């Protein structure tokens, strides 16, 4: 996927999220957040390890574990050091929207039901890539879909129960 002759870093094609009008978007955000919160109260209070690993790869890529996938184009650094939030869903930068929280705190990626503006792997509204996403430069989604399961399992995650 990289350029072996020039040594350039791997390139991935960016995919734009679907544009929605402002009212529809804000209703969608409220509904997604409400449904993520509601999912904490059901018997399945935590996401499975594999699902959370896929979410972490979708948002953060896998460069920290020696992989070649860069972070999502919508991943934003929080004003709080070491924290990140999704800039694509419009939820802003607050503790409840941090993708990975501190210690034993429940984080956004722990919700059993959670949507992603790009419908990435691991999220409830995941949609498989289109056939053209396999053509270079491939998309991040296509790359994740074709990852070796053992590489997915190398990603360190902590599973937190809802309190």
For ligand SF4, the binding residues (CB under 6 A) are 58-59, 72, 74-75, 86, 88-89, 116-118, 120
For ligand SF4, the closer CB: 75 or 151: 75
Give me the least distance between CB of 140 and ligand SF4, in Å please.
8
For ligand SF4, the closer CB: 15 or 162: 15
For ligand SF4, the closer CB: 120 or 160: 120
**Looking at 73-124, which runs of residues are DSSP E strands?**
75-77, 84-86
Give me the least distance between CB of 6 and ligand SF4, in Å please.
28
CA pair distance 152, 85, nearest whole angstrom? 21
Identify the three-state secondary structure at position 13.
strand
Give me the least distance between CB of 60 and ligand SF4, in Å please.
8
Both tokens of residue 54?
Answer: 């896929």
């Amino acid at each position: 996927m990289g350029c072996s002759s020039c040594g350039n870093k791997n390139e991935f094609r960016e995919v734009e999220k679907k544009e929605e009008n402002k009212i529809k978007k804000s209703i969608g955000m409220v509904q997604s957040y409400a449904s993520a919160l509601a999912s904490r109260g059901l018997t399945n209070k935590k996401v499975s390890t594999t699902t959370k690993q896929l979410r972490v790869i979708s948002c953060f890529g896998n460069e920290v574990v020696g992989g070649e996938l860069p972070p999502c184009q919508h991943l934003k650094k929080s004003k709080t050091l070491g924290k990140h939030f999704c800039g694509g869903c419009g939820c802003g930068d607050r503790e409840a929207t941090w993708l990975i929280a501190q210690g034993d705190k429940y984080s956004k990626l722990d919700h059993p039901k959670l949507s992603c503006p790009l419908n990435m792997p691991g999220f409830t509204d995941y949609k498989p890539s289109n056939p053209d996403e396999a053509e270079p430069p491939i998309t991040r989604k296509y790359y994740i879909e074709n990852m070796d399961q053992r590489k997915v399992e190398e990603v360190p995650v902590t599973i937190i129960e809802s309190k």
